[in-house]
Structure 1
Amino acid sequence: MNELLKSYEPITLDEMKSVKLMNRTDTKFVTNTSKLCQLLKMAQQDYYVQDIDGQRNPDYDTTYLDTKAFDMYSQHQYGHANRQKIRFRTYCISGLQFMEVKTKNNHGRTKKNRIEVWDMNLNEVTKRLFLQKNLQYEVDSLQPVLNNHFNRITLVNKGMTERLTIDTALKFSNLTNGHHKDMGPLVVIELKRDGLVYSPILHMLRQLRIQPHGFSKYCMGSALTADEQLPVNRFKCKLIEINKLIKQ
């Protein structure tokens, strides 16, 4: 895969700032590394690859928090439209870390607020003030519940109207029960484009029969590593599909 990425023209972080997706729509797809290699061969003439100091497939590390009653997981499990997630994300290549709150409203739009941090200590005044402003749950009710490590490729189309993130080598560690899950060849793709502007990658995805597929890393990782404390009924069909992709 890294050899394939070498054939792409690079784009820097500064150059990517011009890709302002003001009317953004997000669509997720799930596949495996075999299909991904085919997709990367097809897309190399139409897309740049993000390059950070020579790295084109850098590591990301994420720790999700939830309440002690797992309210945020439950909101998603039962299909509530207004829901939130909170996470600490570390960009391993630079060491930068952010605390992020994602809020999805009943119109399907997701808003992300974040601040740069240096640790996950929630007693710090700046973090508490940020959470009191952006999170609908009490700060003192939060606990770390899931860690997720993965590699991410970022492609930008040459029309500068969309970004494509491609996550591979996903590994989940449940911080409440010690269970782990290596997702092997599973690949999670997210297309972020400017409204309904033409997308070259959509045609390629259809050719490869890679269909849209919702995938929340927090919820899927929790469901895959859960014991009896978490309900997984709503995710059973997705879990079956994911396990089929892993075994292909």
Structure 2
Amino acid sequence: MDRISSILQGFVPISLDEMSRVRLMNRIDTKYVTTVSYLVRLLEMAGVEYRVQEIGGLRDMSYYTCYFDTPDCDMFTQHQRGRKVRQKIRLRVYENSDTAFLEIKDKDNHGRTDKKRIPAVGIGEDIMPYSDFIRSHSHYIPKSLVPQVRNRFRRITLVNSLLTERLTIDTGLCFHNVSTGCERSLEGLVIIELKRDGNTRSPAGEMLHGLHIHPAGFSKYCVGMALTDRQLRQNRLKPRLRMIRRLLYPEQSYLRNNT
């Protein structure tokens, strides 16, 4: 990661205030999954076209998230069944800027994401202070929601020069399941999400294509739940879990394919 820090120092910074002009609350999201070595190559290419978010001198930020779901994991189940219209409810803490939000993310059947959020009341995991907000924007009953899985990761945020797209790059991902107590780390994996308003040109998309990194759906909530609770049905997620193993442990994949 020292190499990544060094490359980021060559980017022109963009402040949090300037970032407010690139909200993209209603947007098209495209995710990519890769490894740190490919991230280094991407960052080496992106310095001319992109600026990096900087807060308090930091360009690689710490995030904490707690995902809520029903006791029978209805939101996870809807995703696992392949339902296109679905929702996630989470507490997101931006640790380096001392801010937190309760967020509701809706995905429609055209692949667009709409996110609504309100400032969090501290960083506790009591959902009830947000009851009115949840009733206004979700069909879930607030008292039926419980913490299911927590995650931590570090995020780099790039913005193109035209302020029409944002690229988030997540590393150091780890999970803790509230119910099972199981913990899993995906150190070495990189989740890239390209967020843009409509079908504008994406220099990052072109760079990723040139590196043979192709779109691949990845839900932190669903992957975290599948990795930390083996009792959950996860047939639809198995290709994604195999991809993770192949990226993180290529030598094991080679041995399986050649024995």
How high is the TM-score relative to the length of structure 2?
0.91
Instruction: Give 1:25 deviation, angstroms.
Output: 1.9
CA separation in 2, counterparts of 1:60 and 1:246? 22
Runs of 4+ deviating beyond 4 Å: 20-23
Indicate if the aligned counterparts of 1:185 and 1:246 stay in contact, CA closer than 8 A: yes
- Asked if residue 3 in structure 1 is aligned to residue 6 in structure 2, the reply is yes
Contact 1:60–1:149 (Cα < 8 Å) also in 2: yes
Within-5 A mapping of 1:69-88: 69-88=72-91
Q: Report 1:22-171 matches (<5 A).
A: 24-117=27-120, 118=122, 119-124=124-129, 127-171=130-174
Q: Name which of structure 1's ranges 69-78 and 156-165 shifts more when overlaid on structure 2.
A: 156-165
Q: Deviations over 1:186-228 (max 9, x none)?
A: 0000011232222111221111111100000000111111122
| Structure 1 position 174 matched with structure 2 position 169 | no
Describe the SS at the equivalent of 2:233: coil
CA 1:22 to 1:122, structure 2 compared with 1: closer, same or farther past 3 Å? Answer: closer
**Structure 2 residue aligned with 1:231:** 233
The farther-off stretch of 214-223 and 154-163 is: 154-163
Secondary structure of the structure 2 residue equivalent to 1:36 = helix
| Aligned counterparts of 2:23 and 2:172: Cα–Cα separation in 1 | 28
Letter in 2 for 1:242: I
Distance (whole Å) between structure 2 residues aligned to residue 123 and residue 131 of structure 1: 9
Q: Report the RMSD for the aligned CA atoms in angstroms.
A: 1.4
The alignment partner of 1:113 has SS state of strand
Q: Match of 1:3, as an amino acid?
A: S
Inter-partner Cα distance in structure 2 for 1:152 and 1:209: 22
Question: What is the CA-CA distance between 1:95 and the residue it aligns to?
Answer: 2.1
What is the DSSP-based 3-state SS (H/G/I as helix, E as strand, rest coil) of the residue aligned with 1:81? coil
| Structure 2 counterpart SS, 1:163 | strand
Contact 1:23 1:195 in 2 (8 A): no
The one-letter code sitting in structure 2 at the alignment partner of 1:96 is T
CA–CA distance in 1 between the matches of 2:160 and 2:113?
22
Structure 2 partner of 1:244: 246
Instruction: Quote how far apart the aligned CAs of 1:20 are.
Output: 5.4
Q: 1:113 to 1:23 in 2, by over 3 A?
A: closer
The C-alpha deviation readout for 1:3-38, integer Å capped at 9, x for no partner, is 111111101111122335487321100001010001
SS at match of 1:202: helix
| Higher deviation after alignment, 37-46 or 191-200 | 191-200
1:196 paired residue number: 199
Identity score, percent: 48
Distance, in Å, in 2 between the alignment partners of 1:39 and 1:206 is 10
Deviation (angstroms), 1:112: 1.1
Q: CA deviation at 1:81?
A: 2.1
What residue identity is the alignment partner of 1:121?
Answer: D
